Amino acid sequence: MLKISVKKAFIFIAIILVVLAAVTSGAVADRLFGLTPLDRFFPRLGINTLQQKFVNEESDVIDVVKNVGPSVVTVSAVTPKRSIIQFSPFGGFSQGTTGGTPQDIGSGFVVSADGLIVTNKHVVADASLTYKVVTSDGKSFDAKEISRDPNNDIAIIKIDARGLKPVELGDSGNLQVGQFVIAIGTALGEFRNTVTTGVVSGLGRGIDAGDQFQGYVERLDNVIQTDAAINPGNSGGPLLNSAGQVIGINVAVAQGANNIGFAIPINTVKDALNSFKANGKFPAKAYLGVQYQMVSQQAALLNSVPQGAYVVDVVAGSPAEKANIQAGDIIYKVDGNQITDTNGGLAKLIAGKKPGDVLNLEIWRDGNTVKAPVTLSEANQ
C-alpha cells in the first residue's frame, strides 16, 4: 500500500508541474506575442495601463488640434514700400525697392464668425505698419480695424470675413498647477500652426511688459506660467486645455530661460472682449507719465532712502510733468499707501485707477518730503 501511494503521489505532483509549466509558458507567450486569452486570469496591470494613458493623451491632443486649429490665425505685418539705392561690385549703383512684403510676426484666434480676431497688443503695436491676417487654410485678409486694450496686452483685429469658426473660451479661474495644456501658433514667425504641449507650471505670476518710454512699465499680474514651448511668433495664440477650450493667450517668454512661457488668463480677455462688444472700445487706462525703477528694501537701506518708485524720466506733457514730478524723485506713497516692489509697485496702484482720478503723492526729493496731487489722464492706445 505504501509503494502504491508514493507512486500515485509522484504522478499527481508530476501532473501539477506539467499544468503549471503549461500555464506559465502560455502567460509568457501571451506577453511576448500579444495573445490575450490569459488576460482573464492574469490582468495586464503595469505597461498596458501606461500605454492606454499615452494613447488617450495623444488622442486628446489630436482632437484639440483638429477642432481648434482652423480657428488659429497668423498675423503678418507689411512695411511701406520705398525706393533704395543698391550697389553691386559688378553693376555699380542701381535703384531698387524694399518693403511691401508681408512678414509673419505673431498669432491670433477667431472669436466671432464675422471676423473678430484676438491677439496681443504688442504684436500690432506699430501704427505705421499695415497688418494682414492669414487663416489656417492660407486665405489672407487685410486688417480693417485694430483696437488695442490700454489695460492689458490685448488687441482685437477686424477683418472682412464670414463663416469663420470661433474658439470656445474656457474658464481660467479654476486652473490647477500641473494641468495639461496645448499651445498653437506661428512659432518664430515662420512655422505656422505649430503645436506644443506641456503643463501649467505656475499661477498668479507677475511680469513686466511694454515699453518703459510709453510712460510706465506695464505690469501684467496673475498671468499663467507654462512649460509648453512658446517662441517669438506664438504671441497672441491660444493656450488650450485638453477639452479644446482657450484658457489663456500666449504673451511672453522668459529671456535666457528654457520652457518658461506666460499667458494672459482668458477671464481677463473675456472681460475686455465683453466691454469691446458692448461699447466698441476697451475701458480707458489711467496714465501718469513716468519711467521708473523700483527701489527695493535692501537698496533703500544701503542708500538711506525710502522704498518706492525712483523716477528715471518724466514724459513731456504728461500729468507727472504738470504736477512737477522730477527725475531723481522717489515716489514712496500714493494716497497714504506705501509703494514697495513686493506689492506690485507703482504700476499696480495706477492700474486700479481711472482717468480723471486725483492721486496724492508723497515724494522724497533731496532728503525732503514733497506732497504732490496729480490728476491722471487717459493713456494713448
CB neighbourhood size of 183 (10 A): 26
Q: In Å, how far are 10, 84, 366 from 22, measured between CA atoms?
A: 18, 85, 93
Residues 6+ positions from 235 with CB-CB distance below 8 Å: 106, 107, 119, 120, 122, 123, 185, 250, 251, 252
Cα 202–chain centre separation: 12
Measured at the CA of 217, the angle between CA 212 and CA 219, to 5 degrees, comes to 155
Residue 153 falls in the annotated catalytic set: yes
**Please, what is the end-to-end C-alpha distance for the chain in angstroms?**
107
Measured at the CA of 152, the angle between CA 340 and CA 345, to 5 degrees, comes to 5
* Euclidean distance between CA atoms 164 and 168, whole angstroms: 13
Q: SS3 for 217?
A: coil
Q: In Å, how far are 33, 307, 352 from 127, measured between CA atoms?
A: 65, 37, 27
Residue 122 falls in the annotated catalytic set: yes
The answer to whether residues 212 and 227 touch, using CB atoms and an 8 Å cutoff, is no
Catalytic residue among 235, 318, 329, 377: 235
Residue 60 falls in the annotated catalytic set: no
Catalytic residue among 71, 104, 122, 201: 122
Catalytic residue among 147, 153, 172, 318: 153
The answer to whether residues 167 and 246 touch, using CB atoms and an 8 Å cutoff, is yes
The answer to whether residues 183 and 227 touch, using CB atoms and an 8 Å cutoff, is no
Radius of gyration, alpha carbons of the chain: 31
Q: What's the grid cell of residue 332? A: 514712496
Cα 188–chain centre separation: 15
* Euclidean distance between CA atoms 85 and 137, whole angstroms: 37
Q: What's the grid cell of residue 43? A: 490582468
- The residues that are catalytic are 122, 153, 235
